[in-house]
């Protein structure tokens, strides 16, 4: 094991122009998608005005506020579907927007770091005289109707932190509504505003020119819009897809089982179960109203401020993280199951911590981690299962799916777009917003999602490594390929079982900061959240109808982009006489003999050669060291283990020991071709760059550099070179150590790089704040 002699922060800063350096030091550098301004369409009934007057006359104690908000929320149940609507902005974010920001003033930075309560709630939280003052402020006029994805997580942390009294209460739970955490209203409004009256299922079909039956669409009496209760298989327009996903998530989807806050506890994560008895399934924002009341009550008691001042100040999620971290830092020993989630039998509030700040080492896998016996596991679960514990939950799910085996229905669905072959196929249908993401928006979302997944598996103690196109991206420069639409990882069968048992239906919020981000972490954190979704037929290791070759996904709730998670297991599919496709057989033969592809034509009919391959195959199978995924990609234990530590997208990860042979058999020319699709790899820059940039210069020489620096049309490439330069240089030094010294770099936590890409939502909010505060 070796260490690279560098300081990630100094190397990182040296590669930037002054303007970009100031941006990245002032802003947090993270990905996700942007949300749009909302316009409150709430119609105020006279009875509500009367309630408002009564509330303004009452002494404004914390409990009064809480009950007042709850009462208002209940009164407004019929109006919540109209709340927080807003048309999605059509302009996309690019690297040009990042460069155009220039230097961000402390005032703007402070403003962007805070979340503000929606104007629809503020009206009933403070007296009318205060509301008149507050409504004249820039905050209220320009930001109180904007959707802020950081608000709900911050309120959760605040309520948890103030409930903590020296020991974690394992029964602590909080209510949850998808509408409070993810922007679905703007997707619904775009359709509702295009019809004159009620948006029925029939009106929806006419609006989007759909000529087939909508089997999952329901018209509800008293509602002004159609409700979708499930997936539509046919290709549809992007706007129709967006409405269907938003409608399902807002009105029909069950809440997650728990929320996991990465990075709020040093070297660990905080998990809080969802209180489903208080989690609305009709699109209400009751949970946000309740949590807002508790927050105001807590802050009034802590600071002595009035409700008006608490609301005006906004919510600093950096302060909430600091409070939770400070209070719980000594509470590890007070929480059952720390560092051993397999010992958890009931879904309790807890801390999970497998992460370490020490130098990473080789990860040795054993064949036992790939063994799986469904019948034995069912027997074990039946013995261990209690009435409400995690084993019973998993047992019931497995038994439901076994009832239809082997004809499992397709579980994961994408968002196919009509008229665009392949469009929408890398988006989960439930969280689909648009297939027209800019290159920057897509790369930023994948960047942050990748980092969140890698941090999650390290914290949870799961065995997962880079695979397929993602591993190929690591090979070239340690980054996702610029044309990729998803991330691919593999996992041991043992870890998949833990993922299904402990973390299925977990919403992950990443608050993790790295060296160089600490002072501005408030701008990065909690902009995005990710849903862990494990397919219910995960226990079946057969390909069957091929509809469920993906075992689980880690889904970005802001865009619908995802990490594909596939498990490897020892199965009968790898036995010597097992049936498989020609492509799978060819791939397996290349595993048995790494020179197979070059000799295939001449040796295909050579009996002696075939016997040698068969002998190697039989030996691997008899030793139980040959594994496969449900799509029948085969791997030997000796090429996987030990997993080698590395960095990917700037954070710690692991790769298979023999990554080159694995990549060569999956991508014949993937390690040598310098062109793919519309991109060309420039060896000098060590980046994949659009072919339109310096089309006649295949290496990236001095003249090409001048063109990139001087032409405004090449600004995206220029920014990409500056923000990734130090990291890519580090990656090549690491690969040289691997090649020349047959060793690896033991990265510590402090060696991780800050995010490369400012979150698009942060960019948009910052631009708006600059316009308002610096230029207003």
Q: Where are the domains of the chain?
A: 573-623
653-to-372, 388, 456, 695 alpha-carbon distances in Å: 25, 35, 11, 34
Cβ within 8 Å of residue 266, ≥6 positions away? 325, 329
What is the block-wise mean pLDDT of the chain (776 residues), using blocks of 10 residues?
A: 49 36 37 26 30 37 45 37 33 79 79 84 73 70 79 95 91 93 89 88 95 92 87 94 96 96 88 88 73 92 91 89 86 43 80 84 97 95 82 94 93 93 90 92 95 96 98 98 96 98 96 56 68 97 91 98 98 86 88 85 80 93 96 96 98 97 93 94 94 88 84 82 94 94 91 89 87 71
Q: How much is the pLDDT for 772?
A: 80
Q: How much is the pLDDT for 239?
A: 95
Alpha helix segments (H runs only) across 76-182: 95-100, 106-112, 119-122, 128-134, 138-143, 151-163, 178-181
Q: How much is the pLDDT for 29?
A: 32
Q: How much is the pLDDT for 508?
A: 98
Which tokens sit at 39?
Answer: 């316009």
Q: Is the dihedral of CA 757, 762, 768, 774 positive or negative?
A: negative
* DSSP string for 689-708: EETTSSTT-SS--HHHHHHH
Q: How much is the pLDDT for 157?
A: 96
Q: How much is the pLDDT for 297?
A: 92
**Whether the Cβ atoms of residue 602 and residue 527 lie closer than 8 Å to each other:** no
Q: How much is the pLDDT for 67?
A: 42
**Whether the Cβ atoms of residue 205 and residue 219 lie closer than 8 Å to each other:** no
What is the 8-class DSSP label of residue 533?
A: E
Give bridge partners of residue 651 from the DSSP assignment.
648
Q: Per residue in 716-755, is it b (16+ CB within 10 Å) or e — as a string?
A: bbbbbbbbbbbbbebbeebbebbeeeeebbbbebebbbbb
Give the total residue count for the chain.
Answer: 776
**Whether the Cβ atoms of residue 4 and residue 732 lie closer than 8 Å to each other:** no
Q: Per residue in 105-144, is it b (16+ CB within 10 Å) or e — as a string?
A: eeebbebbbbbbbbbbbbbbbbbeebbeebeeeebbebbb
Alpha-carbon gap, residue 254 to 402, rounded angstroms: 22
Is there a cis peptide before residue 442, judged by omega within 30 degrees of 0? no
Alpha-carbon gap, residue 270 to 259, rounded angstroms: 8
């Amino acid at each position: 094991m070796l260490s690279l002699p560098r300081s990630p922060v100094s190397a990182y800063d040296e590669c930037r122009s002054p303007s970009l350096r100031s941006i990245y030091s002032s802003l947090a550098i993270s990905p996700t998608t942007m949300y749009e301004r909302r316009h409150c369409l709430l119609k105020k009934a006279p009875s509500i005005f009367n309630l408002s007057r009564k509330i303004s006359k009452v002494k404004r104690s914390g409990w009064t506020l809480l009950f007042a908000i709850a009462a208002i929320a209940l009164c407004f149940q019929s109006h919540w579907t109209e709340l927080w609507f807003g048309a999605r902005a059509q302009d996309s974010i690019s690297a040009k927007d990042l460069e155009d920001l220039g230097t961000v003033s402390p005032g703007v930075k402070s403003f962007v770091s805070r979340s503000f309560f929606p104007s629809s709630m503020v009206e009933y939280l403070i007296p009318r005289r205060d509301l008149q003052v507050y409504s004249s402020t820039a905050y209220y006029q320009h930001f109180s109707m904007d959707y802020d994805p950081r608000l709900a997580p911050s309120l959760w942390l605040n309520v948890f932190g103030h409930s903590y009294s020296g020991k974690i209460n394992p029964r602590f739970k909080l209510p949850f509504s998808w509408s409070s955490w993810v922007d679905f209203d703007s997707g619904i409004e775009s359709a509702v505003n295009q019809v004159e009256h009620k948006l029925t299922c029939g009106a929806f079909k006419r609006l989007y020119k759909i000529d087939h039956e909508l089997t999952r669409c329901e018209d509800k009496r008293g509602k002004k819009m159609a409700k979708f209760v499930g997936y539509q298989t046919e290709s549809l327009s992007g706007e129709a897809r967006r409405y269907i996903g938003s409608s399902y998530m807002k009105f029909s989807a069950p809440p997650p089982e728990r929320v996991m806050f990465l990075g709020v506890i040093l070297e660990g994560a905080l998990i809080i179960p969802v209180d489903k008895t208080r989690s609305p399934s009709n699109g209400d924002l009751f949970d946000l109203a309740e949590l807002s009341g508790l927050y105001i009550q807590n802050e009034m008691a802590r600071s002595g401020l009035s409700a008006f001042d608490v609301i005006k100040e906004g919510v600093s999620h950096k302060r909430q993280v600091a409070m939770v971290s400070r209070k719980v830092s000594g509470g590890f020993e007070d929480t059952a199951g720390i560092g051993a989630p397999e010992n958890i039998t009931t879904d309790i509030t807890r801390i999970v911590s497998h992460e370490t700040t020490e130098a990473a080492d080789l990860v040795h896998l054993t064949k036992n981690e790939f063994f799986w016996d469904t019948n034995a596991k069912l027997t074990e679960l039946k013995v261990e299962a209690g009435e409400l514990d995690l084993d019973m939950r998993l047992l019931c799910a497995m038994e439901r799916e076994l009832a239809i085996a082997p004809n499992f229905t397709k579980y994961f669905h994408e968002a196919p777009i009509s008229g665009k072959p392949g469009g929408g196929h890398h988006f989960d249908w439930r969280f689909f917003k648009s297939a027209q993401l800019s290159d920057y928006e897509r790369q930023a979302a994948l960047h942050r999602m990748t980092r969140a997944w890698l941090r999650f598996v390290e914290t949870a103690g799961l065995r997962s490594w880079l695979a397929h196109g993602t591993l190929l991206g690591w090979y070239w420069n340690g980054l996702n390929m610029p044309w990729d639409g998803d991330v691919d990882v593999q996992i041991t069968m043992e870890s998949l079982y833990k993922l299904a048992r402990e973390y299925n239906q977990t919403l992950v919020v990443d608050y993790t900061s790295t060296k160089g981000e600490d002072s501005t972490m408030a701008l990065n954190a909690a902009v995005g959240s990710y849903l862990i979704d494990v397919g219910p037929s995960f226990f079946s290791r057969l390909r069957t109808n091929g509809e469920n070759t993906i075992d689980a996904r880690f889904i970005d709730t802001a865009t619908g982009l995802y990490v594909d998670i596939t498990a490897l297991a020892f199965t009968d599919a790898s036995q010597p006489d097992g049936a498989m496709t020609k492509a799978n057989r060819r791939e397996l033969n290349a595993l048995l003999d790494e020179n197979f592809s070059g000799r295939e034509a001449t040796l295909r009919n050579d009996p002696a050669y075939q016997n040698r391959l068969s002998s190697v195959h039989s030996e691997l199978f008899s030793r139980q060291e040959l594994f496969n995924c449900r799509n029948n990609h085969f791997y030997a234990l000796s090429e996987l283990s030990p997993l080698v530590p590395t960095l990917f997208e700037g954070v710690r990860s692991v790769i298979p020991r023999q990554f080159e042979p694995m990549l060569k058999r999956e991508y014949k020319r993937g390690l040598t071709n310098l062109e793919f699709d519309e991109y060309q790899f420039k060896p000098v820059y060590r980046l994949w760059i659009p072919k339109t940039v310096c089309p006649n210069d295949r290496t990236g020489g001095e003249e090409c550099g001048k063109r990139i620096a001087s032409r405004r049309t090449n600004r995206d490439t220029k920014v990409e070179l500056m923000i990734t330069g130090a990291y890519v240089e580090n990656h090549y030094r690491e690969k040289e150590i691997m090649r020349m010294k047959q060793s690896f770099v033991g990265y510590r936590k402090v060696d991780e790089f800050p995010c490369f890409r400012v979150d698009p939502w942060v960019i948009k909010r910052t631009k708006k704040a600059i316009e308002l505060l610096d230029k207003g």
